[in-house]
Amino acid sequence: MKVEILEATKTKRMVKDPSGFFTIFVDKPRKEIVVEFYEPIHKEKADRTETGKLGLVVCGTSAEAICHTIAREELVSRFDHAAYLGRELQKAEIALKNKLDYTQDEELVIKSKK
């Protein structure tokens, strides 16, 4: 049996999740990851999303627990969005545990100890 091997590639085109969007940040004083979920707001006379309305806030110290909560609450409808959230939440957890700065959608900078 021959197994197909695919080369991994990035998709440059972003597709919005109709369920909404998230902002992720690390609250250093409280020592936790904070995820804000925004429900889409549609303009009445246009079939497009303008912005979002804060619908839920999830806080915790574990990327896995936050992912489970997001899945349980059915806040994501696209697999690519779920994968993106998992990556970002793992970066946020690493930043939290190592007292690093975290900014969503930016590379996590880990300074080597000399």
pLDDT tens, 56-110? 999 999 999 999 999 999 999 999 999 999 999 999 999 999 999 999 999 999 8
The span from the CA of 73 to the CA of 66, in Å, is 11
Pairs from 102-111 (Cβ < 8 Å, separation ≥ 24) = 102/24, 102/25, 102/26, 104/23, 104/24, 104/25
Give the pLDDT score at 30.
97
Q: Locate the domains of the chain by residue range.
A: 21-97
- What is the H or E stretch that residue 68 is in? helix 63-72
Q: Please state whether the predicted TM-score (pTM) of the whole model is above 0.95.
A: no
CA-based R_g, the chain, Å: 17
> What pLDDT is recorded for position 11?
83
Among 16, 5, 60, CA closest to 38: 16
Taking the C-alpha atoms of residue 23 and residue 26, their distance in angstroms, rounded to an integer, is 10
Determine the Cα–Cα distance for residues 17 and 77; give it in Å rounded to an integer. 6
